[in-house]
């Protein structure tokens, strides 16, 4: 009987994924609550055929190089900016990821952030908890209307489009900016293409849904924040470094924009004494947009399926570096 492949899983993930792996592999699991330290990762990958990792694990060229037997890397996330894809491709290692299964949960959560910031829900909760609620206040905690407002979506991929679908239910005008124009979605969703600077100047809400790449690093900085309306709200459920955090602190403190709601930050996790955490017009939550029971189960199963396909020498169902297959042929 052929020997079972050895795989390293960098955190306890839902059983829906672990059970699939345990069945056919010799699985080693990092049980810590925090990511494994780099030296552990380097040591663990040394004799592994497969690696299942999370977005908090820096899978750089050194780690990939240390995995001399690695045949597949599978990440339980759609974004793979923590993985050196070029190094993986150069070694002929396919990298799996989990697109699609988290789209609706992430779009729901984006809307939750948008609504929470527009209607100042966290401030209301704090107000009641602090015992400040004495009467109905005609001028208290006034927010802004969502119904009929203009939403600017930066990055009209799966999640951006799912957010646009929700916006239609709120009678919003939807603008989008994306390096690839999407006439199909313009028709389906009534979304209007705009250059980034026009989108920023015209939107009441700006929601970011682009991947983190060298082109999108600090895409939203001082110039872009100053272009936004002073009444506008910025939502980031993409990746923290898409926004320059120092510029955002100034924008929120000096009133260039009204508020921000962030599921992701730079750095991540954000230190509790960071100004963005204490500003009353900024909501920060700990990267939980895909955090529903069902979604995380689907992500874990999909990550396991990618891993197992790679170990069997099959094409990964969801591969983030498909060029690895062209390289082989």
Query: Structure tokens of 160?
Result: 């951006």
Separation CA 39–CA 25 (nearest Å): 23
Which residue do the tokens 């977005």 mark? Answer: 55
Q: Which is nearer to ligand DGY, 5 or 96 (CB)?
A: 96
User: Which residues of the chain form contacts with ligand DGY (CB under 6 A)?
Assistant: 55, 77-79, 102, 290
State the first-to-last Cα distance of the chain, in angstroms, to the nearest integer: 30
- In the complex, minimum distance from the CB of residue 55 to ligand DGY, in angstroms, rounded to a whole number: 6
DSSP structure class, residue 141 = T
Q: Is 327 known to be catalytic?
A: no
Question: Is the backbone peptide bond immediately before 267 cis, with ω within 30 degrees of 0?
Answer: yes
Alpha helices in the chain (DSSP H): 15-24, 38-45, 61-66, 85-90, 103-118, 121-129, 158-168, 183-189, 196-202, 222-227, 245-253, 275-278, 293-311, 323-328
Q: Which is nearer to ligand DGY, 9 or 55 (CB)?
A: 55
- In the complex, minimum distance from the CB of residue 263 to ligand DGY, in angstroms, rounded to a whole number: 8
- In the complex, minimum distance from the CB of residue 317 to ligand DGY, in angstroms, rounded to a whole number: 16
Partners of residue 59 on adjacent β-strands: 83
User: Is residue 91 a contact partner of residue 59, using CB atoms and an 8 Å limit?
Assistant: no
Q: Exactly one of 287, 296, 298, 305 is catalytic; which is it? A: 287
Q: Is 287 known to be catalytic?
A: yes
Q: Exactly one of 120, 239, 296, 298 is catalytic; which is it? A: 239
User: Is residue 221 a contact partner of residue 249, using CB atoms and an 8 Å limit?
Assistant: no
Q: Which is nearer to ligand DGY, 78 or 146 (CB)?
A: 78
Partners of residue 50 on adjacent β-strands: 7, 72
CA dist 34 → 18, 54, 80, 273 (Å): 18, 11, 19, 20
Which residue do the tokens 């780099």 mark? Answer: 38
Which residue do the tokens 């050196």 mark? Answer: 84
Q: Exactly one of 186, 222, 268, 297 is catalytic; which is it? A: 268
Q: Which is nearer to ligand DGY, 251 or 299 (CB)?
A: 299
Q: Is 268 known to be catalytic?
A: yes
C-beta atoms surrounding 133 within 10 Å: 12
- In 3-state terms, what secondary structure has residue 148? coil
Separation CA 4–CA 7 (nearest Å): 9
Instruction: List, by residue number, the catalytic residues.
Output: 239, 268, 287
């Amino acid at each position: 009987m052929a020997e079972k492949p050895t795989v390293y899983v960098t955190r306890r993930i839902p059983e829906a994924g672990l059970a699939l792996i345990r069945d056919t592999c010799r699985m080693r699991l990092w049980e810590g609550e925090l990511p494994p330290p780099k030296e552990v990762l380097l040591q663990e990958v040394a004799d592994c055929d497969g690696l299942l990792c999370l977005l908090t694990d820096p899978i750089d060229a050194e780690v990939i190089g240390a995995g001399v037997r690695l045949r597949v890397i599978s990440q339980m996330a759609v974004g793979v900016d923590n993985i050196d894809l070029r190094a993986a491709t150069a070694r002929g290692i396919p990298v799996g990821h989990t697109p699609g299964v988290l789209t609706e949960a992430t779009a729901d959560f984006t809307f939750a952030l948008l609504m929470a910031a527009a209607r100042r829900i966290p401030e209301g909760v704090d107000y009641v908890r602090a015992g400040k609620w004495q009467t109905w206040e005609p001028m208290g905690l006034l927010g802004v209307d969502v119904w009929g407002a203009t939403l600017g979506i930066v990055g009209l991929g799966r999640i951006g489009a799912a957010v646009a679908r929700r916006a239609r239910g709120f009678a919003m005008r939807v603008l989008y900016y994306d390096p690839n124009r999407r006439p199909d979605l313009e028709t389906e969703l009534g979304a209007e293409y705009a250059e980034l600077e026009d989108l920023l100047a015209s939107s009441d809400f700006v929601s970011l849904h682009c991947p983190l790449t060298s082109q999108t690093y600090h895409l939203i900085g001082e110039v872009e924040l100053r272009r936004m309306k002073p009444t506008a709200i910025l939502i980031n459920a993409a990746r923290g470094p898409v926004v320059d955090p120092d510029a955002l602190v100034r924008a929120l403190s000096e009133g260039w924009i009204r508020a921000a709601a962030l599921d992701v930050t730079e750095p991540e996790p954000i230190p509790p004494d960071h100004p963005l955490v204490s500003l009353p017009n900024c909501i920060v939550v700990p990267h939980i947009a895909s955090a529903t029971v069902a979604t995380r189960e689907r992500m874990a199963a999909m990550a396991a399926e990618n891993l197992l396909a790679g170990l069997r020498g099959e094409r990964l169902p969801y591969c983030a570096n498909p060029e690895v297959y062209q390289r082989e042929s």
